[in-house]
C-alpha cells in the first residue's frame, strides 16, 4: 500500500458507491467547459460521455491498474490510479478536488510513489495529459 507520509491522508480501493464522487471530481478538473457557452444540461451530458470513455479507456489499456480514493481527514478528496508493472511504476491518473489542491496532498503521494519506485529500481512515469499541462514525473525529478 502506498503511504503518503501524512497522518491526515489515506488511500482505499475505489468502490462502486464512489461513482458519484468520482464524477464530481472529474467535473472539477474540466473548468474549460465553463467557456464553451453550453447549457448546464449540455455540459452534464458531455461530462458523462467523457467520464464513461475515460473509465473504459483506463480499464482496457491499464487492466492491472489500482484505483484508489484519496481520503483527507477521512473524507473523499481525490483519486489516484497506479500501475505497478515489471518495468515501471505508472501514475495513470491523480486528481484532487479544488479545495484539496495546493496543500501538499498530491506532492506527498507522488513522493511516496517516487520512493517506492526507487526502492524497486524502477522509473516512475505519468501518463501524459497535455490538455492539463501537468508535468510528467520520473523518479527523482519532474520534466
* pLDDT digit string, tens, across residues 45-102: 999 999 999 999 999 999 999 999 999 999 999 999 999 999 999 999 999 999 999 9
Residue 97 lies in a domain: yes
Residue 3 lies in a domain: no
Percent of the chain with pLDDT over 90: 74
SS3 31: helix
Residue 2 lies in a domain: no
Q: Name beta bridge partners: 78.
A: 70, 96
Q: Domain containing 59 — which CATH number? A: 3.40.630.30
Domain that holds residue 119: 9-142
- Given a cut of 80, whether residue 129 has pLDDT beyond it is no
Residue 106 lies in a domain: yes
Residue 35 lies in a domain: yes
pLDDT of residue 143: 41
The cell for 62 is 491499464
Q: Between β-strands 124-126 and 66-72, what pairing exists: parallel, antiparallel or unpaired?
A: unpaired
Domains held by the chain: number: 1
Q: Looking at residues 120-126, what average pLDDT do you find?
A: 93
- pLDDT tens per residue across span 1-40: 677 777 789 999 999 999 999 999 999 998 888 788 899 8
Claim: this prediction has a pTM higher than 0.75? yes
- Given a cut of 50, whether residue 142 has pLDDT beyond it is no
Largest pairwise CA distance in the chain: 49
25 burial type by CB count under 10 A (0-12 exposed, 13-18 middle, 19+ buried): buried
Residue 1 lies in a domain: no
> How sure is the predictor about 140, in pLDDT bands with cuts at 50, 70 and 90?
very low
pLDDT of residue 35: 82
Contact 68, 21 (CB under 8 A): no
Q: Between β-strands 75-84 and 137-138, what pairing exists: parallel, antiparallel or unpaired?
A: unpaired
Residue 65 lies in a domain: yes
75 burial type by CB count under 10 A (0-12 exposed, 13-18 middle, 19+ buried): exposed
Residue 13 lies in a domain: yes
- Given a cut of 70, whether residue 115 has pLDDT beyond it is yes
- Given a cut of 60, whether residue 133 has pLDDT beyond it is no
Amino acid at each position: 500500500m502506498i503511504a503518503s507520509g501524512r497522518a491526515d491522508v489515506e488511500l482505499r480501493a475505489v468502490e462502486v458507491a464512489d461513482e458519484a464522487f468520482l464524477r464530481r471530481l472529474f467535473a472539477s478538473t474540466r473548468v474549460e467547459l465553463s467557456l464553451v457557452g453550453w447549457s448546464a444540461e449540455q455540459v452534464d451530458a458531455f461530462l458523462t460521455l467523457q467520464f464513461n470513455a475515460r473509465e473504459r479507456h483506463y480499464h482496457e489499456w491499464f487492466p492491472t491498474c489500482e484505483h484508489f480514493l484519496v481520503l483527507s481527514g477521512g473524507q473523499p478528496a481525490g483519486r489516484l490510479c497506479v500501475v505497478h508493472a515489471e518495468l515501471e511504476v505508472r501514475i495513470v491518473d491523480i486528481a484532487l478536488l479544488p479545495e484539496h489542491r495546493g496543500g501538499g496532498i498530491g506532492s506527498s503521494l507522488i513522493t511516496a510513489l517516487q520512493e517506492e519506485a526507487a526502492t524497486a529500481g524502477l522509473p516512475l512515469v505519468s501518463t501524459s495529459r497535455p490538455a492539463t499541462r501537468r508535468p510528467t514525473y520520473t523518479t527523482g525529478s519532474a520534466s
